[in-house]
Amino acid sequence: MKRFLKYLALTVVLMGIYISIVFMGTDKGWWYIPFTMETNSNNFVAAVQEKVQGEFVGNMAIAVLKDGKLESESFHSKDIAVNRNTVFQVASLSKFVSALGVMRLVQNGKLDLDAPASQYLTRWQLPKSDFDTNEVTIRRLLSHTAGLIDGLGYAGFENFEALQPLEASLTKAKDADPGSDGVTKVGVTPGSEWRYSGGGFTLLQLIVEEISGQTFDAYMKTEIFQPLQMKSSFYQWDETFEDRLCNFYKSDGSKAQHRFYTAQAASALYTTLADLERLFYFFDNNRDLQKPLSMEFLRKMWQVEAKTLGAPIYGLGTFLYTEIEDGEFIIGHDGKNNPPINTAFRYNTVTNDGIIVLTTGSVDFATRIASDWVFVQTGKVDALLFVMQQSKLIQIIVIGAIVILILITSIALIQRVKQ
pTM confidence score: 0.93
- Considering only residues 288 and 278, tell me which one the structure prediction assigns the higher pLDDT: 278
Whether the bond into 199 is cis, omega within 30 of 0: no
Given a cut of 70, whether residue 1 has pLDDT beyond it is no
Sequence-distant (≥ 6) Cβ neighbours of residue 371 within 8 angstroms: 321, 344, 381, 382, 384, 385, 388
Window from 7-11, 142-146, 389-393 with minimum mean pLDDT = 389-393
pLDDT digits (tens, 9 = 90+) for 39-63: 999 999 999 999 999 999 999 999 9
Q: In a 10 Å sphere around its CB, with 0-12 CB exposed, 13-18 middle and 19+ buried, how is residue 24 labelled?
A: exposed
Predicted pLDDT of residue 419: 65
What are the C-alpha distances in Å from 190 to residues 126, 149, 407, 415? Answer: 13, 11, 46, 55
Mean pLDDT of 329-350: 96
Mean pLDDT of 276-288: 91
Sequence-distant (≥ 6) Cβ neighbours of residue 417 within 8 angstroms: none
What are the C-alpha distances in Å from 20 to residues 14, 17, 62, 289? Answer: 10, 5, 37, 47
Enumerate domains of the chain plus CATH numbers: 2-29+393-418 (no CATH), 41-388 (3.40.710.10)
pLDDT digits (tens, 9 = 90+) for 166-209: 999 999 999 999 889 999 999 999 999 999 999 999 999 999 99
Predicted pLDDT of residue 36: 95
Given a cut of 70, whether residue 234 has pLDDT beyond it is yes
Predicted pLDDT of residue 109: 98
Of the chain, the percentage scoring pLDDT greater than 90 comes to: 77
pLDDT band at 387 (very low <50, low <70, confident <90, very high): confident
pLDDT digits (tens, 9 = 90+) for 3-32: 777 777 888 888 888 888 877 877 788 878
Question: What's the whole-number average pLDDT of the chain?
Answer: 93
Predicted pLDDT of residue 51: 96
Given a cut of 70, whether residue 232 has pLDDT beyond it is yes
Given a cut of 80, whether residue 222 has pLDDT beyond it is yes
Given a cut of 90, whether residue 349 has pLDDT beyond it is yes
pLDDT digits (tens, 9 = 90+) for 395-418: 888 888 888 888 888 887 887 777
pLDDT digits (tens, 9 = 90+) for 367-384: 999 999 999 999 999 988
Predicted pLDDT of residue 326: 84
Predicted pLDDT of residue 22: 79
pLDDT digits (tens, 9 = 90+) for 69-118: 999 999 999 999 999 999 999 999 999 999 999 999 999 999 999 999 99
